[in-house]
Amino acid sequence: MSDLLHFSEHILQEVALVFMAIVYTLRLTWLLRFKAGGDRQAPTGTAGYTTPRRGIIYSWLNIASPWAMESTRTQFFFYIQFVLFHLGVVSAIGLSFVIPYAPSLLESSLLVLILQISVGAAFAIGVGRMIRRIFAKYIRAISTPDDYFSLLLLTVWFGFAFFAVPNSTVNGEWHLLTYFFLTAFFLMYVPFSKISHYLYYPFTRYYLGRTMGHRGVYPIRRAPRTQN
Amino acid sequence: MNNNVRSYKAQKVLERMGKKLNRQMVGSLAACVHCGMCTDACHYVLANPGDVTYAPAYKADKIRKLFKRHFDWTGRVIPWWVSAKSVYTDDELEELKDTVFGKCTNCRRCSINCPMGVDYATFNRMARGLLVSVGVMPEGVAVVSKDQWEIGNQMGVLKEDYVDTLEWLSEEMEAEHSDPKATIPIDKMDADIVYSINPREVKYDPRTISDAALIFYAAGEDWTMPSEGWDMTNFGLFSGDDDLGGAVAKRLYDKVTELRGKTLVISECGHGYRSTRCEGPNWAKMNVDFVMESSVDTMLRYIKEGRIKVDKSKNTTPVTFHDSCNNARSCGLTEEPRELLNLVCSDFREMYPNRAENYCCTGGGGAMSMSEYTPQRLKSAKIKADQLKATGAEIVVTSCHNCVDGLADLIKHYKLGMQVTQLVNLVANALVIEKKVAVPVGEVPAEAEALAGRKILVIDDEPDIVTFISAILEDNGATVFKAYSGDEAIAIAQKEKPDMMTLDISMPGKSGIEVFEELRSLDDLKSIPVCIITGKPELRKLIYDRQVLPPEGYLDKPITEEGLLVNVRKILELVHEK
C-alpha cells in the first residue's frame, strides 16, 4: 500500500468526517434556531384513532411503507429504484470504513459479492436517474446544477466503489485512490448540497407526523376502489 | 430595471419572509430533492399534461428560490448552483402571485405524497401571506378580506340582514310546526350549543340554516345563534394573513365566551372547520376553553343517542361523498360523515380515491373568489369531474360550502347532471318528527297560495330555465311574465310593474349586469326587488361592485324548487315589511 493510499484511507477520511460533523452540527444549530410552530388546538379526527406520537412514527416509517403513499403505490418501480439506490449509498459508505478498519471482512467472497451487487445496482440506477433527469420534462424543469452534480458524483462514486470492494491492489491502486478521494470529497460536499436531505428528513417527517397525528389524519385511511 | 435596485414591495416581502419562517417551513424548504414524486398528486398537473409550471415541485421552487438566496448557505454564496434567485420588481411579485394563488388550491395532496414530508401547502400559504402583506393579491381576495375585516364576515352580510333572515326562518319553522318552541334562538345565554355558520348560508342557501334549526329542534337541543361574531369561515386561511385569521377566530371565540356557550358547533364548511377548530387558536394565540365540533359530529351524536330519529328510505337517490381537503387532509374528519350518510341514505357509493387521498373540488384555497383564474380552475376540474362521473351517483354530498360551489360549477361545466347537497339537508329530509300539535288540514294555508297575487318577471335567455322557473312560480300561485333578453325584460317591467324579478347574468346582447344597472337607474323600476340567478358564481362580484343598490337575492344554478321558493318568498316578505 502506498503512502498516498494509506493517507487517503485514514487521515483524509478522518479529516473529512470531522469536517462533515462540524458542518452538520452548524447546520442543525441553524435549523433549530428557527422557532418550532405549536398547535394549541384540541385533537381532531375520530376519537381514539390516533395520536401525535402514532402520527410521528407513521410519518417516519412512510418511506419504508410503499403502500402508505399513493405516489409510491403507483410508481412502485421508481420506489424499488429508490430503495436499491440508498442501499448502495449505505454499502459504499460502509465500505469506506471496512477497508481501512476491518479489511479482513472482505476476505469473504460472499460479502464482496453482496457489496458489489449493491453498489453496482446503485450505479446502474444512478445512470438511469441521470438519463431521467436530463430527458424527463418535469424533472428537467426542476433540476438545478447541484441536482445534476450530486447525482453524477454519487454515480461515479458507486462505479469506483464497485472496483474498490475487493480491496485488491493487484492491478494498481488507482481505483482505491479514486474511491477514497471521492469519498472524502463527497463527505465534505454533502452538507452544502441536496444530498444533505437526510439531515432534514427526521425533522420534516417529525413535524408533519405530529401535526397529522394530532389532527387525526395519520395513519391515512382509505377505502379501496369498488365497482359502483 | 436595474437588478440591484429592489422595489419597496419586494424588499418588504423578503424582510417579512424571515419573520414568518418557522422550523417546519425551513425543513420543507430545505429538504426537497427534486425527485418529482409529487408531480402526479396534483390535479392541475393531471389536467394539464406536459405543462411543467403546474408541477408542485416547480411551483414550490418559486418560493424555495427566495429562501435559498436569502436564508440558505449554498444559495447565498453560489446562488446559480442551486437555482437560488431573489426578487426585485413588482412584476416578479405579480408572477409569484399567479403561481401561489392561481396554480395551487393549497389542497395538501402533494404534501401527503412527498417521500420527504415536504409540506408545500404550508409554505405556499406563507407566500400568499407575504404577497397580501404588500397588497399583491387577486382582486377577489382583497374584496373578501376587506369584508371580513370591516363587516365581520366574508360576504359582507349586514347584521340587520342576518338577523332578519334568522327571524324569518324562525317564524317559518314555528308556523310549520305549530310549536312556539320551534324557533331559532338568538343570543341566548348559557345555551349548550352555539351554532356558527358560513355567510353563504344567509346569502344564498338559507335552507341549510332552517334544516339545521329543524334538527336542533327535533333533538330538543338547548341552542342559540349569535347575533354577531357568527361567521365561522376565515379568509385568513386562504390569504395567508395570520392577523386576519386571528382576528376573525377571536371574534367568534369571544362571542361564545360572552354567551357562556358550552359547545361551539361549526356548520358544514371545510375551511371554516379547519380555521375555527384547528388553526384559529394558533392564529389568535389563545387557548379556547369550550368544546368545538363539526355539525357532522353533532348530528351523528343525536342519532346515536336516540335524540333524533331518521328514516333512510326518504333519501333513496344514489349519493356519493366528496371529502373536503380541509376536513379530510387537515382535520381527519373522514369517517363520521360516512357513518352519518349510511344512516340517512339508502344508496351511498364511495368515490375513489377518497378520504385524505381525495382530489380537491378545485374551488378550494379561495379559488372561487379569484375570477381571473376561472378558466384554469375549470380545466383542472376535469379530474374531479371524471371522479364524480365514475361513481354513478346522482347526488354528490359534501360537508363544505366552498366545495358545494366548486362542485356545482364543475358539474355545470362538464354537464354531469348531478346535484350537490350537504349532510344537513339529507339528515333534515330523513328526520322523523312527531307533530307536537295537531292542526286540522283545512287550517293550513295551501302551498299553492303562497305566491298568490304576486307578479314576477323571469328573465333568462335559456327557454328551458324560463319554463322551469315559471312553472314553479305559477304552481305556487304567481302570475309570471317571461323575458328572454335584456331589452324585452325592461319593456315588460315598465309595462307590468312586477312585484319582483329573477335575472340571469349571462345573456347574449345586453348582459344581466347591464340590465340590472339599467333597472336600478330607472325611477319607476329601481325599487322592484331582483333575485340574481346565475351559473357563474364568480360573476357575483361584478354585480355587487356596481354603484347601485345590491340585488335583494341571489341563487346559483342549478336551481332547486325549494331553493327558488325560499328565496322568492323571503325577498317578497322582506320588501313587504319595508
Q: Which residues numbered 35-54 in A keep a CB inside 8 Å of some CB on B?
A: 35-42, 44-46, 49-50
Q: How confident is the model at residue B449 (pLDDT cuts 50, 70, 90)?
A: low
Instruction: Please indicate whether residue B549 or residue A134 has the higher confidence score (pLDDT).
Output: A134
**Which of A32, A205, A206, A208 best tests the B interface by mutation, with the highest count of B CBs <10 A?**
A208
Of B30, B58, B332, the CB nearest to A217: B332
Helices H, strands E: what count in chain A?
10, 0
Q: Which three cell numbers stand for residue B570?
A: 323571503
Across the interface, do A34 and B333 touch by the CB < 8 Å criterion?
no
- The overall average pLDDT reported for chain B is 92
Residue A166, Cβ density class (10 Å: 0-12 exposed, 13-18 middle, ≥19 buried): middle
Chain A nearest-CA distance from B267, in A, is: 16
For residue A22, is pLDDT > 80?
Answer: yes
Task: Please report residues of B whose CB lies closer than 8 A to that of A126.
Answer: none
Amino acid identity of residue B503, one-letter, is: L
- Give tens-digit pLDDT for B133-192: 999 999 999 999 999 999 999 999 999 999 999 999 999 999 999 999 999 999 999 999
Query: Cα B300 from chain centroid?
Result: 23
Across the interface, do A217 and B115 touch by the CB < 8 Å criterion?
no
- Please state which of the ranges A39-43, B251-255, B535-539, B569-573 shows the lowest mean pLDDT: B535-539
Chain A nearest-CA distance from B384, in A, is: 15
Angstrom distance (rounded) from CA A133 to CA A121? 18
Inter-chain CB pairs, A–B, below 8 Å: 201
Beta strands B500-504 and B479-483, pairing class = unpaired
Classify domain B150-304 at the CATH class level: alpha beta
Residue B333's CB is within 10 A of a number of other CB atoms, namely 30
Q: B68 by DSSP, 3-state: which? A: helix
Across the interface, do B74 and A192 touch by the CB < 8 Å criterion?
yes
CATH of domain B8-137: 1.10.1060
For residue B372, is pLDDT > 50?
Answer: yes
For residue B444, is pLDDT > 50?
Answer: no
Across the interface, do A145 and B83 touch by the CB < 8 Å criterion?
yes
Beta strands B263-266 and B193-196, pairing class = parallel
- Give tens-digit pLDDT for B52-91: 999 999 999 999 999 999 999 999 999 999 999 999 999 9
Inform me whether the C-beta atom of residue A70 falls under 8 Å from chain B C-beta atoms: yes
Q: How confident is the model at residue A100 (pLDDT cuts 50, 70, 90)?
A: very high
For residue A224, is pLDDT > 80?
Answer: no
Q: How confident is the model at residue A227 (pLDDT cuts 50, 70, 90)?
A: low
- Give tens-digit pLDDT for A30-88: 999 999 988 899 999 999 999 999 999 999 999 999 999 999 999 999 999 999 999 99
Is the ipTM higher than 0.90? The answer is yes
Evaluate whether B124 touches B59 at the Cβ level (below 8 Å): yes
Q: What distances in angstroms separate CA A129 from CA A78, A149, B36, one per listed residue?
A: 10, 12, 12
Q: Where are the alpha helices (DSSP H) in B80-197?
A: 90-100, 120-133, 139-150, 159-177
Evaluate whether A139 touches B34 at the Cβ level (below 8 Å): yes
Q: What is the mean pLDDT of residues B90-107?
A: 98
Across the interface, do A142 and B61 touch by the CB < 8 Å criterion?
yes
Instruction: Please indicate whether residue B12 or residue B507 has the higher confidence score (pLDDT).
Output: B12
Domains and CATH numbers, chain A: 3-22+48-214 (1.20.950.20)
CB contact burial B134-153 (16+ within 10 A = b; e otherwise): bebbbebbebbbebbbeebb
The strand pairing partners of B556, in sequence order, are B534
Across the interface, do B34 and A32 touch by the CB < 8 Å criterion?
no
| Residue in chain B nearest A214 by alpha carbon | B331
Count the residues in chain A. Answer: 228
Chain A nearest-CA distance from B472, in A, is: 34
Q: What is the mean pLDDT of residues B93-104?
A: 98
- Give tens-digit pLDDT for A144-180: 999 999 999 999 999 999 999 999 999 999 999 999 9
Pick the CATH number of B312-424 from 1.20.120, 3.40.50, 3.50.70, 1.20.58: 3.40.50
Q: How confident is the model at residue B116 (pLDDT cuts 50, 70, 90)?
A: very high
CATH 1.10.1060 residue ranges of chain B are: 8-137
- Contacts with B578 (C-beta within 8 Å, 6 or more apart), sequence order: none
Q: How confident is the model at residue B446 (pLDDT cuts 50, 70, 90)?
A: very low
| Residue in chain B nearest A29 by alpha carbon | B23
Q: What percent of chain B has pLDDT over 70?
A: 94
Q: Which residues numbered 9-38 in A keep a CB inside 8 Å of some CB on B?
A: 27, 30-32, 34-38
The strand pairing partners of B294, in sequence order, are B266
Q: B51 by DSSP, 3-state: which? A: coil
Across the interface, do B27 and A200 touch by the CB < 8 Å criterion?
yes
Inform me whether the C-beta atom of residue A167 falls under 8 Å from chain B C-beta atoms: no
What do you get for the CA distance between the two ends of chain A, in Å? Answer: 71
Task: Please report residues of A whose CB lies closer than 8 A to that of B328.
Answer: 217
Angstrom distance (rounded) from CA B217 to CA B193? 12
Inform me whether the C-beta atom of residue A185 falls under 8 Å from chain B C-beta atoms: no
Per-residue DSSP letter, B61: H
Of B21, B55, B331, the CB nearest to A138: B55
- Give tens-digit pLDDT for A107-143: 999 999 999 999 999 999 999 999 999 999 999 999 9
Query: Cα B365 from chain centroid?
Result: 10
- Contacts with B277 (C-beta within 8 Å, 6 or more apart), sequence order: A41, A44, B266, B292, B293, B294, B331
Across the interface, do B333 and A216 touch by the CB < 8 Å criterion?
yes
- Strand arrangement, sheet containing B223-224: B223-224, B193-196, B263-266, B291-294
Across the interface, do B354 and A223 touch by the CB < 8 Å criterion?
yes
Beta strands B291-294 and B319-322, pairing class = unpaired
For residue B201, is pLDDT > 50?
Answer: yes
Across the interface, do B37 and A144 touch by the CB < 8 Å criterion?
no
Angstrom distance (rounded) from CA B192 to CA B222? 5
Chain B nearest-CA distance from A194, in A, is: 6
CATH of domain B448-577: 3.40.50.2300
What do you get for the CA distance between the two ends of chain B, in Å? Answer: 58
Q: Where are the extended beta strands (E) located within B275-430?
A: 291-294, 319-322, 348-349, 395-398, 419-421
Chain B nearest-CA distance from A204, in A, is: 5
| Residue in chain B nearest A212 by alpha carbon | B330
Q: What percent of chain A has pLDDT over 70?
A: 99
Angstrom distance (rounded) from CA B113 to CA A129? 20
- Give tens-digit pLDDT for B391-405: 999 999 999 999 999
Q: Which three cell numbers stand for residue B342?
A: 349510511
Chain A nearest-CA distance from B137, in A, is: 25
Give phi and psi for B28, each to the nearest 5. Answer: -65, -35
Chain B nearest-CA distance from A215, in A, is: 5
Q: How confident is the model at residue B559 (pLDDT cuts 50, 70, 90)?
A: confident
For residue B547, is pLDDT > 60?
Answer: yes
- Give tens-digit pLDDT for B521-534: 888 888 899 888 87
**Which of A25, A41, A54 best tests the B interface by mutation, with the highest count of B CBs <10 A?**
A41
Across the interface, do B24 and A144 touch by the CB < 8 Å criterion?
no
Across the interface, do B331 and A70 touch by the CB < 8 Å criterion?
no
Q: What distances in angstroms separate CA B536 from CA B63, B542, B543, one per listed residue?
A: 32, 11, 12
CATH 3.40.50.2300 residue ranges of chain B are: 448-577
The strand pairing partners of B419, in sequence order, are B395
Across the interface, do B117 and A228 touch by the CB < 8 Å criterion?
no
Across the interface, do A145 and B82 touch by the CB < 8 Å criterion?
yes
Across the interface, do B282 and A38 touch by the CB < 8 Å criterion?
yes
